[in-house]
Amino acid sequence: MAINFDKALSIHPQALALREKRSEILAANLANADTPGFKARDLDFTSVLKKTMPPNVDMERTQAGHLASERLLLGANLMYRTPYQASLDGNTVESHIEQAKYAENAVQYQASLQFVSNKFSGLMTALRGQ
């Protein structure tokens, strides 16, 4: 019987790729914090992940405490971030916001990486028959 990695790993490889792309975008925002006229950008992770998911994958709540999620489909464009305080030079990067978003994304990337690692550990255990 062949192992179907798409089914075994679920959405985690796509999530890792999206988290990586988002970290690049957020890092570019931070790098241009002092560039006049630069517009901070971001992507809506949930909407992008929705577009990348296979059509037969459906998310379900297994515990009452889980957040409700919509059915996921992918394809969001980069969006411009609206600043809380406008800058005179037209730059919309707010370093403290970008740093917080970058840190949050890094933690979520590590969580997705841990999920993939756990999936592979489970597959290895199943293959060894232990």
**Least confident stretch, 21-25, 53-57, 79-83, 111-115:** 53-57
Residue-range domain boundaries for the chain: 9-58+69-128
Assign residue 90 a region (left: φ > 0; alpha: ψ between -120 and 50; beta: otherwise): left
Q: How confident is the model at residue 2 (pLDDT cuts 50, 70, 90)?
A: low
Tens of pLDDT, residues 3-29: 676 676 777 888 888 889 899 999 999
Is residue 71 over pLDDT 80?
no
Amino acid sitting at position 65:
G
Give the H/E segment covering residue 111. Answer: helix 95-128
For residue 34, the number of C-alpha atoms closer than 13 Å in the C-beta half-sphere is: 0
The structure's pTM equals 0.70
Burial of 49 (C-beta count, 10 Å sphere; 0-12/13-18/19+): buried
